[in-house]
Amino acid sequence: MHETNEWITSLGIDLGTSTTKFIVSRLQISKVSSAFSLPSYKITKRLCTYKSQIYSTPLIDDETIDYTNIAKILEREYEEAGITLDDVHTGAVIITGETANKKNARIAVNQLAERAGDFVVATAGAELESLLAGKGSGAQDFSIQTPNQVVANIDIGGGTANTAFFLNGECIGTATLRIGGRLIRLNPAGFVKGMADSFKPWLEENGFLVKKGDQISFERIKQITDEMAKNLIGYLAQSSNDEHTQLLYIDPMPQSLPTVHTWMFSGGVGELMKNSERMTLEEGTRYGDIGPFLATSLNQLMKRSSFNVLSPKQTVRATVIGAGTQTTEISGSTVFIQNGNFPIRNVPVEKVHIQNEELESDQLDHIFSETIKKGLSLHSMGLDPAFALYLSGIDYCSYEKLKKIVNILENIYSQYLPNQKNIVIICQNDMAKALGHALSIRLNGKVNCLICIDQINIQHGDYIDIGQPLPSSIIPIIVKTLVFTSDA
Amino acid sequence: MIELTDNKLALEQLIQSTPARIGVGCSGTRPKTEIMLKLRMDHAMAVDSVYGDIPKAFFEEFHFPIVQTPCQSKEMYLKRPDLGRKLTSEGESFIREHCKKKPQVQIVISNGLSSKAIESNIRDVYPALLDSLESYGLSSGTTFYVQNGRVACMDVIGEILEPDVLVMLIGERPGLVSADSMSAYMCYKPRIGTIESNRNVISNIHRGGTQPIEAGAQIGAVLRAMLDQKTSGTRLVI
């Protein structure tokens, strides 16, 4: 058997509150199985090969993303990076921080994803953002090198502070607070040019009565960022958590936080923390916001509290590198693909959790039809596939159980989705190929496309994009958690 | 488990990574009683699966015709590997008369070194394999069972029935972890003189290893590739 060693190109685009960045990366897919087992492939290397400069995120006004100008930037960057649309196999556009709250966020990010290449996906959501930043900054790798110690990566951009906690390479939690460098915009003389609406309640509660047009002093700005730093670190280090901090929550907040051993700061503010020295009002407002002040406040606080702070490998580009290099997975070893018009985008996932006893009983029918009914009520009817079924919980799938599942699948699809032409099934167990064969025989040409994949890490409520299969039936999969804070 | 004061987690990860008996501790220079008993029990199961026979009920369920090799006893089977690579003359004439000639796919089942492997896995692998053949548009000949066969007895069978491809589902040498592990050996046009590098194998098929139904599905894919590429073994691209 020949070794497969294939490279694919993956893009990352991060539309942040204050800045927009773009990267190109190369992912190596290699066969990791021996010649005697079922073939199995993994992404074995993730290299970042091109990094764009940092652009200010183009906005038409406070509420609207300037999509046309972003597209222009992208075009220029493609040229600079020496790639064309055809070269791009996969990638992700992530919309982060306050930008996700803009009126046209969902439209902008989806259009951009389509423009960026056939298989570049749109993602959003504070949890995902935290995770990607922590992977991109190098915090995850660092946690592998320091066993049994929690590493926290706090990615602070213009609008949010996204924290991911890593233990032995695993992300064990995330938390996001509305703390960022661009929540207040200033001119060099200290006049307030604007404020994020979402930040105003916190300012008021803390007695910082500032409004657009006010001139505020160096000391006053510093008081504000000191308080922001105190709220953020107080919450994350679990030393203080007053009702003021709760005004900064972006739901849902975790029940409990781990005790952190090492702290890393990435994002634009993380970058500024590397060399925040004494500065004048003019220097502090050089980006037209409070970013440098916040960086100084955080540095002072961390030093005072004698916390163990380490510089991450990547700061301002941590999220975009995470988005470009870490979002693509490949499906399990043996899969079933019959036709399919790839890429298949934005397929919502409905989970069917099967207990083993249920497989022996008649309840199985009921569980499947309930899931299908729920799926139909949640997702728009026009889509084909309306959703993917995720089969989980089976401990060992014998052929007898497989036959049972195939019978039920055939019944429910013909009963509830008779006109569906595309069926996508995801299995937690290694059983996708066998299921695909049995089901395709049973359906006997009733559907155009049947895809069964397995061994993908997926949660109920996720969306997946399924890419063009590579030789050897490797399918690139991107699991997306699409959460927009405001739906527009 | 051994008692460790530091890096307990690392030890747990190591233990998690293998079903082998590691980190089980000792008493002085000897294994602990519990561990020793478990080892002897596993060894006994391995011996049983070599010497045991497939129960009659199995053949009532599947109706596979039974063909013999010249190895009339397990002792002879173990001592004379060469005889396990042949069929008795009765066996040869049986398949010549009763099995479909020149099938696209010939399926052969043999207990090999573990009857338990056949008993535990055929019920899942075989129907999944038939589904997979149907799905790939392949037809198969007459499946039969070889008592006390070795992998290379497929060469003799190939010589007589002349299949395009052959798959042999055979019990593996039992280990102390699994006594019911099965392999699927596959070959494009096996004939007398076929060398080992011309065969492909999917091994470690049992509940705790390569999933039986998925193995069945993949065998079809490998056979399909053999027919398309008209080769097998190290030259086959999968």
- Interchain CB contact of B234 with A (< 8 Å): yes
What Cα–Cα distance (Å) separates residue A379 from each residue in A348, A349, B78, B175? 8, 10, 62, 50
Last residue of a domain, one of A304, A326, A348: A326
Q: Phi-psi category of A178—alpha, beta or left, where left has phi over 0 and alpha has psi -120 to 50?
A: beta
Residue A144 counted as domain residue: yes
Full DSSP string of A237-297? TTS---HHHHTTB-SPPPS--PPPSEEEEEHHHHHHHTT-----HHHHTTTSBSHHHHHHH
Residues A300 and A202 in one domain: yes
CB contact under 8 A, B214 and A38: yes
Q: What is the pLDDT of residue A308?
A: 95
Contacts of B4 in chain A (CB under 8 A): none
Residues A289 and A373 in one domain: no
- Other beta carbons within 10 angstroms of residue B138's beta carbon come to 18
What Cα–Cα distance (Å) separates residue B84 from each residue in A74, A245, B78, B109, B205? 67, 77, 9, 13, 22
Whether residue A4 is predicted with pLDDT greater than 70 in this model: the reply is no
- A60: CATH: 3.30.420.40
pLDDT grade, residue A181 (50/70/90)? very high
CA trace torsion A57, A59, A63, A65 (10° rounding):
-80
Peptide bond into A292 cis (omega under 30): no
Candidates B13, B16, B135, B169, partner chain A, best to mutate (most A CBs within 10 A)? B135
Instruction: Look over chain A and give the mean of its residue pLDDT values, rounded to a whole number.
Output: 86
Residues A38 and A114 in one domain: yes
Q: What is the pLDDT of residue A3?
A: 54
Rounded to the nearest angstrom, the minimum Cα separation between B232 and chain A is: 9
Listed residue (A358, A229, A240) closest to A296, CA to CA: A229
Q: For residues A258 and A150, is the Cβ–Cβ distance under 8 A?
A: yes
pLDDT grade, residue A451 (50/70/90)? very high
Residues A151 and A255 in one domain: yes
Please tell me the total number of residues recorded for chain B in this structure. 238
Segment A302-327 shows an average pLDDT of 91
Whether residue A313 is predicted with pLDDT greater than 70 in this model: the reply is yes
Our count of domains for chain A comes to: 3
Q: For residues A284 and A221, is the Cβ–Cβ distance under 8 A?
A: yes
Rounded to the nearest angstrom, the minimum Cα separation between A434 and chain B is: 5
A33-56 pLDDT, tens digit per residue, is 887 888 888 888 888 999 999 999
Whether residue A122 is predicted with pLDDT greater than 90 in this model: the reply is no
Q: Which residues of chain B have pLDDT under 50?
A: none
Listed residue (B164, B235, B153) closest to B200, CA to CA: B235
Q: What is the pLDDT of residue A485?
A: 39
The answer to whether B151 is annotated as binding is yes
- Other beta carbons within 10 angstroms of residue A384's beta carbon come to 15
Partner-chain residue, chosen from B135, B210, B216, that has the shortest CB–CB distance to A37: B210
For residues A83 and A461, the model is more confident at A83
Residues A368 and A303 in one domain: no
Whether residue A86 is predicted with pLDDT greater than 90 in this model: the reply is no
- Interchain CB contact of B110 with A (< 8 Å): no
pLDDT grade, residue A486 (50/70/90)? very low
Q: What is the pLDDT of residue B70?
A: 97
Listed residue (A427, A433, A474) closest to A454, CA to CA: A427
Whether residue A75 is predicted with pLDDT greater than 80 in this model: the reply is yes
CB contact under 8 A, B217 and A434: yes
Of the CA atoms within 13 Å of residue A135, those in its CB half-sphere come to 21
* A278: Cβ contacts below 8 Å, ≥ 6 apart: none
- Other beta carbons within 10 angstroms of residue A230's beta carbon come to 18
Candidates A433, A442, A470, partner chain B, best to mutate (most B CBs within 10 A)? A433
Q: What is the pLDDT of residue B5?
A: 63
What domains are defined for chain B?
A: 51-235 (3.40.50.11240)
Whether residue A452 is predicted with pLDDT greater than 70 in this model: the reply is yes
Residues A358 and A249 in one domain: no
Contacts of B181 in chain A (CB under 8 A): none
For residues A171 and A484, the model is more confident at A171
pLDDT grade, residue A332 (50/70/90)? low
Of the CA atoms within 13 Å of residue A358, those in its CB half-sphere come to 16
Indicate the DSSP class of residue B196: G
CB contact under 8 A, A472 and B212: no
Q: What is the pLDDT of residue A456?
A: 81
A132-144 pLDDT, tens digit per residue, is 899 999 999 999 9
Residue A481 counted as domain residue: no
- Interchain CB contact of B57 with A (< 8 Å): no
What Cα–Cα distance (Å) separates residue A438 from each residue in A387, B134, B219? 21, 9, 14
Candidates A172, A399, A474, partner chain B, best to mutate (most B CBs within 10 A)? A399
Lowest mean pLDDT among A42-51, A240-249, A415-424, B193-202: A240-249
Q: Which two tokens stand for residue A346?
A: 């934005």
Residues A10 and A112 in one domain: yes
pLDDT grade, residue A267 (50/70/90)? very high
Q: What percent of chain A has pLDDT over 70?
A: 94
Q: Which of A101-110, A322-331, B14-23, B100-109 has the highest average model confidence (pLDDT)?
A: B100-109
Residues A163 and A252 in one domain: yes
Sheet holding A388-392, edge to edge: A328-330, A476-480, A463-466, A344-353, A388-392, A422-427, A449-454, A336-338
Residue A376 counted as domain residue: yes
Q: How many A-B residue pairs are in contact by the CB < 8 A criterion?
A: 85
Segment A412-429 shows an average pLDDT of 90
Listed residue (B189, B191, B193, B186) closest to B218, CA to CA: B186
The answer to whether B162 is annotated as binding is no
A352-399 pLDDT, tens digit per residue, is 888 777 777 778 888 888 888 888 887 766 678 888 999 988 889 999
Residue A465 counted as domain residue: no
Give the nearest chain A residue to B122 (CA atoms).
A399
Residue A24 counted as domain residue: yes
Residue A100 counted as domain residue: yes
Residues A288 and A348 in one domain: no
- Interchain CB contact of B238 with A (< 8 Å): yes
Listed residue (A441, A208, A482, A244) closest to A345, CA to CA: A482
Q: What is the pLDDT of residue A465?
A: 84
CB contact under 8 A, B236 and A1: yes
Whether residue A487 is predicted with pLDDT greater than 60 in this model: the reply is no
Contacts of B135 in chain A (CB under 8 A): 436-437, 440-441
Q: Phi-psi category of A138—alpha, beta or left, where left has phi over 0 and alpha has psi -120 to 50?
A: left
Last residue of a domain, one of A250, A281, A312: A312
For chain A, what percentages of helix, strand and coil (3-state, to nearest 5) are there?
A: 35, 30, 35
Which residues span the domain enclosing A375?
334-454
Chain-centre distance of CA A253, in angstroms? 17
Rounded to the nearest angstrom, the minimum Cα separation between A148 and chain B is: 8
Q: For residues A81 and A50, is the Cβ–Cβ distance under 8 A?
A: yes
Residue A469 counted as domain residue: no
Q: What percent of chain B has pLDDT over 70?
A: 98
Q: What is the ipTM of this complex?
A: 0.89
Between CA A304 and CA A237 the distance in angstroms is: 14
Q: What is the pLDDT of residue A2?
A: 44
Whether residue A213 is predicted with pLDDT greater than 90 in this model: the reply is yes
Residues A116 and A161 in one domain: no
Contacts of B205 in chain A (CB under 8 A): none
A159-179 pLDDT, tens digit per residue, is 999 999 999 888 888 899 999
Residues A179 and A110 in one domain: no
Listed residue (A482, A445, A245, A169) closest to A348, CA to CA: A482
Residues A308 and A206 in one domain: yes
Rounded to the nearest angstrom, the minimum Cα separation between B171 and chain A is: 15
CB contact under 8 A, A38 and B207: no
Whether residue A333 is predicted with pLDDT greater than 90 in this model: the reply is no
Q: What is the pLDDT of residue B196?
A: 95
Between CA A34 and CA A38 the distance in angstroms is: 8
Q: What is the pLDDT of residue A106?
A: 79
- Helix count and strand count (H, E) for chain B: 9, 6
Residue A188 counted as domain residue: yes
